Structure 1
Amino acid sequence: MTKTWLIYALGGGWGHITRALSLGRIAAKHSKVRILTNSPYAHYLNAEGCLVQWIPDSAGFSATCQQVRHIILNAECDRLIIDTFPRGLGGELADILPQLQHIPRILIHRDINPRYIAAKNLRSFVAENFDAVIVPGEGKDLPFCDLPNVHHTAPWLIRSDVDLPERTLTRSHILKVNETIKTILVCCAGQAEELPLFAEIALKLHQEFPKCAVRILAADCPPNCQDLWISHHPGIECLAVADVVVGGAGYNTVYECAALRVPLVAIALKRLYDRQDKRAQAYCYWVQDIQSAIDTVKMLVDRIEPQKKPLPSYINGAVQAVHHIMSYKF
């Protein structure tokens, strides 16, 4: 019988679904992978060999929780993988996980606000309800890192280095830029309401740097940015050929730029659970406002040459994670 992995990846942006696809595309080589998501961007994505089951983001809180519970309670799978939220995004898993002792349960432990962990008494819940915890490159100072069943990997990326397309092809066909022009890529990978902020940044960069190619990467065309807009997934393929990236400090944007060795000028965006300021401080040129972003880009543009070197090599933690999950003896 074919093995089936069910990945819970609820969350309103790109982050959870991209992380799930990073894992799922590798696991799908030997198992069926089913990803449960409510991301409004799900229909933009290549399913990467996985079955993506979308709960419309317009379904409402109660209906979403009800659907999630029904799907998981009736799932025929031999791995249940929960991304970030041990009890579920709305607490909908709290009373059903104890009923699933027959299914190996794995938590993907990304950095989240410790106030949330304390308020929901998550340490004891995780210890009682998860067979394994995997930390996808977020450090060893997270709240569950001292549990005995924790494994650490490098950050998970939706493309390994060998999977990236040739840089000249990406620049010419997707960004429509030749190799001699310095390229500034504005990455709008967060929530839909943040699109105007990044549109403003892109337009000001376009005005300030007439000798550079400025592009804005977003699912939908930002206001007044038709000539600068590109829509491409996965975004890592575009980040790989940029000279400077401007964006938020979400998981994927930060770790993709770090792996690719592309400087990221990041505005830490407010999130209920995610601590983007912590990530920005550790890995990025952290700025507080648009003018600071422009000033930092100027400093970077003045000292770099357009990238002509081969794409860098790096470790993809998703590959490590698949091996861990396959090797667990439950």
Structure 2
Amino acid sequence: MRGERWLLYALGGGLGHLTRAVALGRAARLRGHRVEVVTNSAFASGLALEAELGEGLVHRLSPELGKHTVRASFERLFARVSPEVLVVDTFPRGLGGELATLLPELKVRKVLVHRDLHPDYVERFGLARFVDTYDRLLLPGEPAPLAHHPRAVSTPPWLVRDVGELLDVPSARQALGVATSEEAVPVVAVLACGRPEEVDECIGLAAMLQRELGARAAVRLLAPSALTSVPEPLTWLRPWPALPLMRGIDVLVGAGGYNTVQEARATGTPLVAFARPRLYDRQALRLHASEQVSTFDAALARVSALLPTPSELRRERAAPSYVNGAHAAVRLIEGA
């Protein structure tokens, strides 16, 4: 089909909405579509999003803007882009309800990326009725409360890189700053993302793991945002996306957010995760019992148990094999 203009609404804290939008946008560009993304993620200012989608195609709103200002900004952007397709991530009425009265008036194909939402939120705002505004509901690889809707379709998880774009093990370990002389040393990566206090907690956890594991592991702190203080000799890296490095990571420590969990499972990377409290997202439901911890001591014990032995590290690892659901999502949107 001919290329269309798509506008992706990816408002919300953290990196989940934005990374999912980039995954969809990259897949749509391969099909000839022009994709623009609007986000208010506090992390967006420090990410090379234009390298993923193209110059001038990423619109960053301040996370401090109120509901009415966000709506006015979105209306101006919508008029300028004049999209043929609007994709809204997670929140059918907009993050703060700013799209509730606007969406029914928009004469474009409307698609909702439908993920798990707290049932109280679904009930309070009558989302079961409101989603009729959308031409298609896409479930990106996990259950959602309105999965029974007649226009709802499930896909595999959406990932920001296809399997062929991942670095091989030696290249990933090199990118993680692991010397060739440390080839028998496993890599433990701590993903520091989320609220400022959660990032600080991850820094403390990484420092503790490095101190307690000593020469048994190379601990790396992965944080997409600028950090003002990282205790020495902890190694801090700022990769985004982190998925290309996953084959070089032996144990991943993070939270139960969508991208962390789906990337770990797609690549077969052992995960140790905290279920962070969120207003809408229920991370504890996404995590398996074997993945979830609630204290530093429990995290240390789980990481220690998961560390491969030197002989296991020397064996050639099986390459991951996964299907990136973003491509199926694009085809479904084209046919909506």
Please report the TM-score for the alignment, with normalisation by the length of structure 2. Answer: 0.91
1:42 is matched with 44
2:96 counterpart letter in structure 1: G
Task: Give secondary structure in 2 for the equivalent of 1:24.
Answer: helix
1:183 to 163, 166, 187: 187
Alpha carbons 1:46, 1:233 under 8 Å: kept: no
Give the whole-Å Cα distance in 1 for the aligned partners of 2:308 and 2:164.
31
Alpha carbons 2:166, 2:245 under 8 Å: kept: no
Is 1:199 aligned with 2:203? yes
2:157 is matched with 155
Give the whole-Å Cα distance in 2 for the aligned partners of 1:85 and 1:262.
30
Alpha carbons 2:86, 2:111 under 8 Å: kept: yes
1:211-245 deviation per Cα after TM superposition (whole angstroms, max 9, x unaligned) = 21000100223633453101011111223310001
2:306 is matched with 300
Is 1:235 aligned with 2:237? no
2:4 is matched with 3
1:11-37 deviation per Cα after TM superposition (whole angstroms, max 9, x unaligned) = 111111000000001111211000010
Aligned pair count reads 323
1:104 is matched with 109
- State how 1:1-330 maps to structure 2 within 5 Å: 2-29=3-30, 30-43=32-45, 44-47=47-50, 48-50=52-54, 51-72=57-78, 75-100=81-106, 102-127=107-132, 129-139=133-143, 142-178=144-180, 179-211=183-215, 212-219=217-224, 220-221=226-227, 223-225=229-231, 227-281=234-288, 285-301=291-307, 305-306=312-313, 308-328=316-336
Q: CA deviation at 1:247?
A: 0.4
RMSD: 1.9
**Deviates most, 47-56 or 34-43:** 47-56
Q: CA deviation at 1:303?
A: 6.3
Alpha carbons 2:272, 2:302 under 8 Å: kept: yes
Give the whole-Å Cα distance in 2 for the aligned partners of 1:274 and 1:222.
28
Tell me the percent identity.
36
Task: Give secondary structure in 1 for the equivalent of 2:272.
Answer: strand
1:98 counterpart letter in structure 2: P
1:317 counterpart letter in structure 2: G
Give the whole-Å Cα distance in 1 for the aligned partners of 2:212 and 2:324.
36
Task: Identify unmatched segments of 5+ residues in structure 1.
Answer: none
Give the whole-Å Cα distance in 2 for the aligned partners of 1:169 and 1:302.
19
Q: CA deviation at 1:69?
A: 3.4
1:203 counterpart letter in structure 2: A
1:283-309 deviation per Cα after TM superposition (whole angstroms, max 9, x unaligned) = x51111111111111111166833741
Give the whole-Å Cα distance in 1 for the aligned partners of 2:228 and 2:302.
23
1:235 counterpart letter in structure 2: A
Give the whole-Å Cα distance in 1 for the aligned partners of 2:79 and 2:197.
34
Alpha carbons 2:168, 2:248 under 8 Å: kept: no
Give the whole-Å Cα distance in 1 for the aligned partners of 2:124 and 2:148.
19
Task: Identify unmatched segments of 5+ residues in structure 2.
Answer: none
Task: Give secondary structure in 1 for the equivalent of 2:304.
Answer: helix
Give the whole-Å Cα distance in 1 for the aligned partners of 2:228 and 2:168.
27
Q: CA deviation at 1:73?
A: 5.3
CA gap of 1:177–1:198, structure 2 versus 1, over 3 A, is farther
1:54-91 deviation per Cα after TM superposition (whole angstroms, max 9, x unaligned) = 11223344422331233235541111100000000010
Give the whole-Å Cα distance in 2 for the aligned partners of 1:186 and 1:130.
38
Give the whole-Å Cα distance in 1 for the aligned partners of 2:319 and 2:273.
22
Give the whole-Å Cα distance in 2 for the aligned partners of 1:71 and 1:186.
37
2:8 counterpart letter in structure 1: I
